[in-house]
Structure 1
Amino acid sequence: MNLSEPFIRRPVMTTMVTAALLLFGLMAYRQLPISDLPDISFPVITVTVTNPGMDPETMANNVAVPLEQQLMTIPGIKSVISSSRQGNTTIVVQFDLSKDIDQASTDVNSAINNASGNLPPLPAPPSYKKFNPADTPVIYVAVTSEAMTMGKLYDYGYTIIAQRLSMLSGVSEVSIWGSKSNVRVKVSPDKLAAMNIGINEIAEALVDSNQSLPGGTVYDASIAYTIVPKGQVTEGAGYNQLIVAENQGNPVYVKDIGEGVDSIHDEGFYLRYWDKDKGEIPAVIVAVTKEDGANTVKLCNDVRDYLTVLEKQLPASIHLDVIFDRSIMIKESINDVLLTLVIAFILVVSVIFLFLGKASSTIIPSISLPVSIFGTFAFMYARGFSIDILSMLGLTLVIGFLVDDAIVVLENIVRHQQMGKNPVQAALDGSKEISTTVLSMTLSLSAVFLPLVLMPGIIGRLFHEMAVVVVASVLISGSISLILTPMLCSRFLVHTDKKSRLEEKADRLMERLVAIYEPALIWVMRHRLVPILLGVASVVFAALLFKSVPTDFLPPGDTGAMLGVTLTSEEVSYDAMANRQDKVNKVLENNPYVDKVISMANFPELLPPNEGVVFAGLVDLNKRPAIAKIKEQIDGEFKKLSGIQPFLKPIPQINLNVSTSVDRADYSYAISGIGDQDLLYAKVQELTRALQNVSEITDVSSDLEISAPQVSLEILRDRASMLGVSVKTIEQAIQLAYSGSRISTFQTPINIYDLVLQVDDESRQTPDMLDKIRVSSSLPEDRKTLIPLSTVVRREIVNGPLQVNHINQLPSATVYFNIAPGAALSSALQRVSDEASKIIPKQFFGSFAGQAAIFQGTGPEMAALLLISILIIYLLLGSLYENFFHPLTILTTLPGSIFGGLLTLFVFQSSLSLYAFVGMIVLIGIVLKNGIMLVEFANEKVLEGKEVSEAIIEACKVRFRPILMTTIAAAMGALPIAIGIGADASSRRSMGLIILGGLLFAQMITYFFTPVICYYSMRAGRSITK
């Protein structure tokens, strides 16, 4: 049966089908969303609980533990990680990838409700939200004003900007970095004591004086009047006139014991925004995160357009400045990959023309390229895929052999024309003869990528889209070569005795090359042991290179921005932290390639008191070196700083780490367990010190912070009881004086604000100031007096944790680190594992977390994928050839090609990353196609009755030209990637290098090693048959 015959005999139908495929592909291309990488959804939910003033240990024991106990009962849980800081607990619940996120949300809500009975009184119930670590904000906007306070800017940023941006299509979340307005009533303990007034009484009076209750309605004969009580005070100065107590028959106003002031939610909050052109400007930051599947480029454009509209509606003093726009780098990267695709297309077509020497012969297979590519775009649109770096890279890689099938078909039809057949008959006979070969090549190449399509886990999800796109393009290309190419050959490929000058040169070149190749092949066939020994040597050296080539995971890429954490001593005050953070800012501002800086600290909802966050946006790519070089410069300046340690890293294209705060480094090792908690902490500190001396890693730190100064107050219960003071009264007085917690709220037309009561600033400067606090006694009225706090508590300065961490309910600590430049990831992780096994006792559990854990699991998976790919190919080819030995012959081309690819990586000092692994799979597919062309033809000649050795030599001579053409075409497709053309090409360069090096060695193997193996397999097959 000839699959091509209906299409050869019906050229109009074939043309219409092809035109329709091109049209649908073009329409699909215009509609496809654009992103940097495929969407990857982590089923993760974060639970947040706040209780201002509560210390970390109490937050961990009283808040985190009850919630963790309930959350751990949810089916499908992968891990529950919590971090408790002063006044805040964050719990990250990660589920198995198969867990439906909506069902997970329902389960988490039920768990919180079940735990609520065991939680302490809280100002607000625990909140939760879906969280995808892979979705970092795509655009940052600074809301700036020289004339407004932080609180006012926050109001505009939250109410006017963030809420309206969240309504745009494609927006998942809009976060705002700043501090909300509130009113603080600051009272003097000395004045309260002089008037015999307890702070608890002031709190009750303020709550009673700040009410908003419904008034109802009154009626007269014809009109209904709504009663509107004005019971709330909305400005700090207004509270000064409130009567809060009575002293000797005289009213006591707030102004008599303190003052009401307009303030912000986090009183010590530090945020600095710096612009290269404008300098430092007061600002709040708005960060927009996209929904899964949203078009990043379109969303960022929509946000920019809407900001232009919004800015006209805001006061003239407010300006909106886009700090970071991820779509800019995405567009540059996609354009660079598309440029690479175009260059590869031109190179491939040029190779075809140079080999065939005839325009019509070049055009026919070249047409299959755009048809296959646009057909793939139509498939991508139907599957809901996006135009991203990986899918476009996949097309670029396969462009070299999308034309292979068409070349093979064309070359065979030309051979039949040279036998004297007319174009139609040559097309019919040639396509029928070659269809099995094309089918074998297409299916085997698709089979190579099948395990990557089905690969589980995060990495499987990351490369799934790329693998499916490659398989689709290969299947479409194979179909086009059997549908369109024979029809075009039957109509436009006219054989003439007179050849063009270029054809003659091409033919003479091929004749010379074959003339050189033939005696070398004959010698090899007579000395068959030589190529076999070389083949064995290539296997050995490939194994050695696997250990020598540095391994990498996912290069971070160049997104044009860096984000990091600053770390200082645990006893640092707000002012000291701000001063040290300023030093970090100056380093960034002085770097010529840094365009914008955001710096934050003293932000309890996000960070411990001794940590800050810095963001550095870089100038345009054409005005700066690679981001890795800039980081190296900045790190050199950071080392000169004293009192603070910054950990800055490029914002990755995809974040695979799941944590409760901003990552300090790319990799981490977590330790947890039941037992002596002090021993756990001591061993983590010992491990951290040991890892700081390991040369393969750098930026070593841990989240273990257990030496923060604390004021421990032991309540003297007997004495307090005798004086009529309850424990609750004591703790409430301390909470009101120092925690900064909300006692009431008030509303304005645009927002709801907190009313906070606390002692004045002077009374919060040293622990000794606690002695000024007085607590109310419940003794009879005639004996009523205020009791000094020092009378009923014993005060002691101790050390305690700044944060308490749990993993799956167990106490834990995490060590963070980066890989040193030039070091192999696998080697570095092994060193960390070795040090941990020596230091961490067996009663504790140690394991890599986040990206490091995924890398460890990916290595065996990738090796298994290669083996499965090879097995599938063997089963497929064995079924097609009805032979056990021919598939083995074809597969023997693999070790040498892998050796060549690894050797190229080693020579060019490139790493074996996930990109390189994908390149290796592509290499396997290309090499297999060459082996199939050779073995298929040799097998036909043997079946015709020729002697095995003679059949193999003839097959090598006849297939010399198409094998060389397809190999060079594939190499040309990979060349632009290997050279590293484009904005972020360095991270993908290893993919092109491994293909180029592998093809060079594969060519020699196909020409000399494969014939020898083919000889033995055919002889063995004959022996078994006999």
Structure 2
Amino acid sequence: MKLPEFSVRRKVTASMIAMILVVIGLIAFSRLGLDFFPDLEYPTVSVITTYRGASSEDIEKTITEPLEQVVSSVSGVKKVTSQSSEGVSVLMVEFEWGTNLDFAAQDIRDQIGLYRNFLPTNASNPLVVKFNLSQFPVVFYGITADSGYSTYDLKKMMEDEVKPRLERLDGVASAAVFSTDEREIRVEVDKNALISYNLSLDRVLMALAAENVNAPAGDVVERHEDLIVRTLGEFRSVEDVRNVVVGLSQRGEPIYVRDIAEVKDTFKETRNVARVQEQKGVYLVVNKRSGANTALVGNAVKKEISKIQASLPGNVKFHMAMDQAEMINMVASRTSNNAVVGAFLAIGLIFLFLRNWRPTMIIAIAIPLSVITTFVALYAAGYTLNLMTLGGLALGVGMLVDNAIVVIENTFRHIEEGKHVEEAAVVGASEVGMAITASTLTTIIVFLPVVFAGGITGKLTQPLALTIVFSLVSSLFVALTLVPLFSSLLFKARAKKSSADEECVVKEPHFAAARAFYRKLLAAALRKRKIVLAVTAALFVISLVTVAFLGTEFMPQSDRNFLMVRIKLPVGTSLDETNRILGQVERIFSQQPEVTLVSAQAGSRAEEDPADMASGMGITGTHEGLLMVRLVDRSERKYSDMEILERVRKMLPQLENFKFEQINMEAAMMGGASAPVEIKLFGKDLEKLREIGDTIVKRISDVEGLRDLTHSLAQGKPEYQFSLDRERAARLGLAVAQVSSTIQTATQGTVVSRYRDGSDEVNIRVILAKQYRDTLEEIRKTPLMSAAGKMIFLEQIADWKRGEGPIQITRENQMRKISITANIAGRDLGTVMRDIRSRLGDFEKQLPPGYFLEYGGAYEQMIDAFKVLAAALALAVLLVYMVMASQFENFLHPFVIMFTIPLAIIGVIFGLLISGKPVSLPALIGVIILAGIAVNNGIVMIDYINQLIRRGLDKREAIIRGAVTRLRPVLLTALTTILGMLPMAVAGGSGAEFRSPMAVAVVGGLTATTLLTLFIIPIVYSIFNRVSFKEYVPQSEELPCK
């Protein structure tokens, strides 16, 4: 018993199956997560090591280079890139896709563990972190309070009252509080006192480290009791620190810390500042656990914050700087709305064509049933509802009705012939069962290459592809089971018409005129086949020529409600000056009507949060500032985020060497470059790299559309360099490490121990008093103690000079490089890169030996993605042909149908041109989808023509009658798909940038292939079957009912 017959004969059973699917589908839907992107695990591991006070070159030599060699030996490593900045080394180890990152990260830890003793003593233990989208904040708050509360008080309040409650919430991995004020016990040493007591900084460090100890001292058995002995030496108050003995005077009297230093319970000397709405504040960053529902976590955090806020003192205000949950809900809502509107448009069109509410009602029931069944498959596959899967559902809505329409139209036709309703429902579905199965398979099969595609392209498109596959399989099941069931229940029988040759005239006054008009046009086209084919070929050639005017890009730029901007001043600019300029830019943003919140940071946070540098969005020094700007929703503003940014650019202060850069947070989240344009220059010598980089910047600076053009070695940081007289130092028993450690303690201090104050642990830092470290002359007079106990000064063993060092050294696969980067405004990426490459073509050939260029950034990702998708498209076309050949048991007929694909390309190109969209990853995915859809109309048409020929009808008449008979289902399936996707094609707002090019490609391509298929397929079929229409006189215009 076939499925249609089972459904009609066993109505109660079929109805219960439908109800089971609905119940299970709704349960699955309630458990599906909601995210912005699929839960991707990028094959990247970061290795972060801090070494406070070390220059970029020192970091490179002592940490980065050795670690690069170590991690490169790990199995499966594809590429190693690194950044050596002041005080921090960051390695990004990229593996092949599919690598188990847990094992890979452990292998890296094991290898580094073997080498740890060879790293500098004062360097931190390397931190190995897997890259994951969950490490980007779910919510990001800027927090302010009344003026009576310092940022330290505010931070303490957040850590005591807010952080524990948020971390208890389901799905929350961590809630971190960041502040510029960090409490510390600072021992400010008086250099003159050191000299007078004949002491060194090393002696102070050793004394404080040795005294602040609680240690076990064994055990004692006394009167049958076994007692533990402990030495209690930890500091219990700041006074204990002051009373530590650091030495003895010549008279044998103790010298206390208070005699040679001022001990302060204060805050760490800040190297960064933070503001929220032009007020000092702190930041609260909440991250979710991997796999947790982003929207639910974000909503739960906001709900908990609203409860906590009322109980906090000091008029504490939580300013939402970024909210992923809000963006996700917005995207989900808009995508759902597009799908619903598309479904209603498709249903309305069906009613217009059929002029009967019964088949329209069946379609209206079939769509939600197919969608609900898809939810079951998505849940079973472990997917979430995200930009990709929601896009797949929205795209699928237009295609969901195709199978049901073909079944209903055929059933409707059999009823009009006079068959009984139940018989018509069974026969109508069974008759087209193989055809719609084949057409569904041709649509599904095109996604097979995409599902198995590699790299980021494959990982992004797999959820979308499989969602469409799930929805199409669901629609096929519904069309062959529930549609016949509903047809048998809702349709009414008509009187059977008689005909001597078992044919009849179907009376369709509302569609007869269209069929008659099409019949005349088709007959004329078949008589003028060469002209029609020539015009079509000309259109195809024109469309290919037009591609050059479309432009190309990797991923469309999203118009989001959040901007991240970095400002750069000359390297070495003080924190105060950077903060002053940052304040000016901050005020400019605050004055824009679309801006609701501005938070600002200046200075590096690498010490407090080394992972900040690994994100690619951190600040490298006191010369940089970062602005996070929140905008009103796109529906509430007239201008896009990029237009607002361009407006702000024109209002910026005109300063020499002032840089203003937009950070593409979305690209960073996707594991890409923070700027779309990146030219990588490789070489050995930093000065030579800087010189060549400057030349490249000058050569391409006039390329239209470039913004924020710079290179990573644009400026060096001013520094004092000392050269040790090794011979003299050796005579005095001093090593370079000891001298370097003394300089570090003198200038920026050394954390020697920690002081426990209740639940707080506070660093104890030893440093020279400020007046003794403000100038080079004072630093040179810092005392050291020789091995013989004789006091000497730095100036006696070292030469000092002022120099310049790189602010950041980047490397790739153990070779130095600099990156020339830029953003783009007003032009597409492909066109801009073409102009850049034309300017650098001859220059690249003139580079010195050992120096060469590579093109990276979004351009590299775009080229890789286009190669992957081009191969996927070629394979998809081949697979479609194979499926059709299997269906027809013929090699020729599928070849005829394949002509619909180039016809679709005409529509794709002109669709993108009219809509102003460049060729991009989403648009190419749309082309692949088209490869499966475009052939469906041809399958239905050729299949019916073959049926008529088998019945004995003349081939010429069979071609015309077959095409005309299938006009209504061809138009219905095509137009419902087009209307179903039309809302998505014209949609705006967050998330639409990805979906819209896909929909435009499908709508444009399907429009063209439908119109042209009605003529080209019969023409090509007639040519391959050697059927001539030169002297053909059409028979009756009556249409066969069978």
TM (norm. structure 2) is 0.90
Comparing 90-99 with 189-198, which one deviates more in the overlay? 189-198
Which residue number in structure 2 is paired with residue 688 of structure 1?
Answer: 697
After superposition, the Cα gap between the structure-2 partners of 1:654 and 1:575, relative to the gap in structure 1 and judged at 3 Å, is closer
Which residue number in structure 1 is paired with residue 632 of structure 2?
Answer: 619
Which residue number in structure 2 is paired with residue 608 of structure 1?
Answer: 620
Contact 2:419–2:493 (8 Å) recurs in 1 = no
1:793 aligns with 2:802: no
Give the C-alpha shift of residue 615 in structure 1. Answer: 1.2
Contact 2:346–2:980 (8 Å) recurs in 1 = yes
1:192 aligns with 2:194: yes
Which residue number in structure 2 is paired with residue 277 of structure 1?
Answer: none
C-alpha separation in 2, matches of 1:367 and 1:311: 47
Comparing 794-803 with 302-311, which one deviates more in the overlay? 302-311
Give the secondary-structure state (helix, strand or coil) at the position aligned to 2:369: helix
Residues 68-115 of structure 1: CA deviation (Å, up to 9, x unaligned) = 111000011122122122222121212111110110111111121122
Give the C-alpha shift of residue 843 in structure 1. Answer: 2.3
Instruction: Tell me which amino acid in the other structure corresponds to 1:608.
Output: T
Give the secondary-structure state (helix, strand or coil) at the position aligned to 1:213: strand
Which residue number in structure 1 is paired with residue 896 of structure 2?
Answer: 889
Which residue, out of 901, 917, 926, partners 1:919? 926
Give the secondary-structure state (helix, strand or coil) at the position aligned to 1:768: helix
C-alpha separation in 2, matches of 1:709 and 1:257: 32
Contact 1:919–1:992 (8 Å) recurs in 2 = yes
C-alpha separation in 1, matches of 2:447 and 2:255: 81
Which residue number in structure 1 is paired with residue 761 of structure 2?
Answer: 752
Which ranges of structure 1 fall in alignment gaps of 5 or more residues? Answer: 275-279, 1022-1026
Contact 1:344–1:976 (8 Å) recurs in 2 = yes
Residues 375-431 of structure 1: CA deviation (Å, up to 9, x unaligned) = 111111111111223222222222222111111111112222222221122223322
Which ranges of structure 2 fall in alignment gaps of 5 or more residues? Answer: 498-504, 607-612, 614-618, 1029-1042
Instruction: Tell me which amino acid in the other structure corresponds to 2:985.
Output: A
Contact 2:426–2:484 (8 Å) recurs in 1 = yes
Contact 1:53–1:741 (8 Å) recurs in 2 = no
Contact 2:45–2:128 (8 Å) recurs in 1 = yes
Alignment of 1:705-716 (within 5 A): 705=714, 707-716=716-725
Contact 1:442–1:474 (8 Å) recurs in 2 = yes
Alignment of 1:169-318 (within 5 A): 169-179=170-180, 180-214=182-216, 231-233=233-235, 239-249=241-251, 251-265=254-268, 267-274=270-277, 280-308=278-306
Contact 1:559–1:652 (8 Å) recurs in 2 = no
Give the secondary-structure state (helix, strand or coil) at the position aligned to 1:403: helix
Give the secondary-structure state (helix, strand or coil) at the position aligned to 2:666: coil
Alignment of 1:866-885 (within 5 A): 866-885=873-892
Give the C-alpha shift of residue 128 in structure 1. Answer: 1.7
Comparing 412-421 with 720-729, which one deviates more in the overlay? 720-729
Give the secondary-structure state (helix, strand or coil) at the position aligned to 2:796: helix
Which residue, out of 744, 761, 767, partners 2:770? 761
Contact 1:715–1:792 (8 Å) recurs in 2 = yes
Contact 1:159–1:751 (8 Å) recurs in 2 = no
Which residue number in structure 2 is paired with residue 1024 of structure 1?
Answer: none
Residues 449-476 of structure 1: CA deviation (Å, up to 9, x unaligned) = 2222222211211111111010111111
Give the secondary-structure state (helix, strand or coil) at the position aligned to 2:1025: helix
Which residue number in structure 2 is paired with residue 34 of structure 1?
Answer: 34
Alignment of 1:65-76 (within 5 A): 65-76=65-76
Which residue number in structure 2 is paired with residue 323 of structure 1?
Answer: 321
Alignment of 1:151-170 (within 5 A): 151-158=152-159, 161-162=162-163, 165-170=166-171
Contact 1:184–1:261 (8 Å) recurs in 2 = yes
Contact 2:642–2:825 (8 Å) recurs in 1 = no
Which residue number in structure 1 is paired with residue 728 of structure 2?
Answer: 719
Contact 1:707–1:799 (8 Å) recurs in 2 = yes
C-alpha separation in 2, matches of 1:208 and 1:767: 31
1:671 aligns with 2:681: yes
C-alpha separation in 1, matches of 2:332 and 2:747: 54
Give the C-alpha shift of residue 343 in structure 1. Answer: 0.8
Which residue, out of 649, 652, 658, partners 1:644? 658
Give the C-alpha shift of residue 957 in structure 1. Answer: 1.2
Alignment of 1:847-866 (within 5 A): 847-866=854-873
C-alpha separation in 2, matches of 1:293 and 1:50: 30
1:817 aligns with 2:830: no
Give the secondary-structure state (helix, strand or coil) at the position aligned to 2:891: coil
Which residue number in structure 2 is paired with residue 119 of structure 1?
Answer: 119
Contact 2:418–2:494 (8 Å) recurs in 1 = no
Residues 885-938 of structure 1: CA deviation (Å, up to 9, x unaligned) = 211221211222221221122122122222222232333333222111111111
Give the C-alpha shift of residue 309 in structure 1. Answer: 5.5
After superposition, the Cα gap between the structure-2 partners of 1:462 and 1:613, relative to the gap in structure 1 and judged at 3 Å, is same
Which residue number in structure 2 is paired with residue 110 of structure 1?
Answer: 110
C-alpha separation in 2, matches of 1:506 and 1:746: 95
After superposition, the Cα gap between the structure-2 partners of 1:481 and 1:54, relative to the gap in structure 1 and judged at 3 Å, is same
C-alpha separation in 2, matches of 1:221 and 1:134: 59
TM (norm. structure 1) is 0.92
C-alpha separation in 2, matches of 1:143 and 1:1009: 66
C-alpha separation in 1, matches of 2:667 and 2:298: 16
Which residue number in structure 2 is paired with residue 567 of structure 1?
Answer: 568
Instruction: Tell me which amino acid in the other structure corresponds to 1:1003.
Output: T
Contact 2:876–2:931 (8 Å) recurs in 1 = no
Alignment of 1:81-96 (within 5 A): 81-96=81-96
Comparing 986-995 with 867-876, which one deviates more in the overlay? 986-995
Alignment of 1:400-439 (within 5 A): 400-439=398-437
Which residue, out of 614, 620, 634, partners 2:648? 634
Give the C-alpha shift of residue 979 in structure 1. Answer: 2.2
Identity across matched positions, percent: 26
Which residue, out of 316, 322, 332, partners 1:334? 332
Give the secondary-structure state (helix, strand or coil) at the position aligned to 1:52: coil
C-alpha separation in 2, matches of 1:803 and 1:689: 21
Give the secondary-structure state (helix, strand or coil) at the position aligned to 1:634: helix
Give the secondary-structure state (helix, strand or coil) at the position aligned to 1:418: helix
Give the C-alpha shift of residue 874 in structure 1. Answer: 0.4
Structural RMSD (CA): 3.0
Which residue number in structure 2 is paired with residue 551 of structure 1?
Answer: 552
Which residue, out of 958, 961, 966, partners 1:959? 966
Give the C-alpha shift of residue 876 in structure 1. Answer: 0.5
Contact 2:190–2:769 (8 Å) recurs in 1 = yes
Comparing 832-841 with 406-415, which one deviates more in the overlay? 832-841
C-alpha separation in 2, matches of 1:80 and 1:518: 65
C-alpha separation in 2, matches of 1:160 and 1:810: 48
Give the secondary-structure state (helix, strand or coil) at the position aligned to 2:52: coil
Give the secondary-structure state (helix, strand or coil) at the position aligned to 2:233: coil
Residues 802-846 of structure 1: CA deviation (Å, up to 9, x unaligned) = 22222122112112222231x232232334445555245462353
After superposition, the Cα gap between the structure-2 partners of 1:433 and 1:646, relative to the gap in structure 1 and judged at 3 Å, is same
Residues 642-665 of structure 1: CA deviation (Å, up to 9, x unaligned) = 553221245328723357xxx3x2
Alignment of 1:1006-1017 (within 5 A): 1006-1017=1013-1024
C-alpha separation in 1, matches of 2:920 and 2:528: 39
1:777 aligns with 2:761: no
Give the C-alpha shift of residue 705 in structure 1. Answer: 4.8
Instruction: Tell me which amino acid in the other structure corresponds to 2:214.
Output: S
Which residue, out of 484, 492, 495, partners 1:494? 492
